[in-house]
Structure 1
Amino acid sequence: MPQLNGNTCEISELPDGVTVTVKVTTNSRHTQKITLTRNDEVLCAFVGSGERNAMTGQWTIVASARAKLLAKFEYQTDINAEWRKSSQLKSGGPYTIGSYNLLVVVAENGDDADYNDCVLEFSWSSPT
């Protein structure tokens, strides 16, 4: 399971050398932001808002067992407002179904309690 610490999540369950798809969706009118870093280098940032699993972005990375991968979740209530760090996180996985693998981290920013305001998914295929 990913290590959750406030609004950050350390992911160490990804298999070394495998190409992993990273997908982010939102279910909130508030702008959500996820910054993904590896060894303190920003790999990508996803920013967006919307309901009904609005796609915020998709990216691929090659996983590295030697690198520390962190996801930082933030949100803002107004366009020019400060980024807030009070999102609460939950995670699940990795789950394996055949050769498909999925690891999910979800965020709740406090406007309800459904833990789907921002959803971060990592998926990959097991080598055969």
Structure 2
Amino acid sequence: MPQLNGNTCEIDELPDGVTVTIKVTTNSRHTQKVTVTRNDEVLSVFAGSGERNAMTGQSNIVASSRAKLRAKFEYQTDINAEWLKSSQLKSGGPYTIGNYNLLVIVAENGDDSDYNDSIVEFSWITPK
């Protein structure tokens, strides 16, 4: 299971060398930002707002068992405002269905309690 600490999630159970797809969506009128890093190197930054699972972005990385991934969730209530760090996180997975794997982290920024303001999905195929 990922380790949740405030607005940050550490992920260390991804299999070495597999290609992992990161997909980020939002369900908030406030701009959401998710920064994915590995050993302090920024791999991807996703930012956007919108309802009905609006796509914020997608990228692929190659997992490394020697390094933890970290996803940091932030939001802002006004354009050009400071990024706030009070999002609360929940996670599920990793779930394995055949060779398909899915790990989900959801964030709530406090304007309601539905835990869908930012949704990050890590998915990969387990090699045979």
TM range (shorter): over 0.9
| Counterpart-to-counterpart distance in 2, 1:97 and 1:83 | 37
2:52 maps to a residue whose letter is: R
Question: Which position in structure 2 is the counterpart of 1:14?
Answer: 14
- 1:97 paired with 2:106, answer no
- Percent identity of paired positions between Structure 1 and Structure 2: 84
Aligned pair count reads 128
> Which residues in structure 2 correspond to 1:20-31 (within 5 Å)?
20-31=20-31
The runs of 5 or more residues in structure 1 that have no matched partner are none
Question: Which position in structure 2 is the counterpart of 1:47?
Answer: 47
2:93 maps to a residue whose letter is: G
CA displacement at 1:56 relative to structure 2: 0.2
Query: If the length of structure 1 is used for normalisation, what is the TM-score?
Result: 0.99
Q: Give the RMSD, CA atoms, in angstroms.
A: 0.5
Structure 1 stretches of 4+ moved >2 Å: none
| Counterpart-to-counterpart distance in 1, 2:79 and 2:89 | 23
1:105 maps to a residue whose letter is: I
3-state SS of 2:74 partner: strand
Query: If the length of structure 2 is used for normalisation, what is the TM-score?
Result: 0.99
| Counterpart-to-counterpart distance in 2, 1:87 and 1:5 | 10
| Counterpart-to-counterpart distance in 2, 1:85 and 1:119 | 16
2:92 maps to a residue whose letter is: G
Question: Which position in structure 2 is the counterpart of 1:127?
Answer: 127
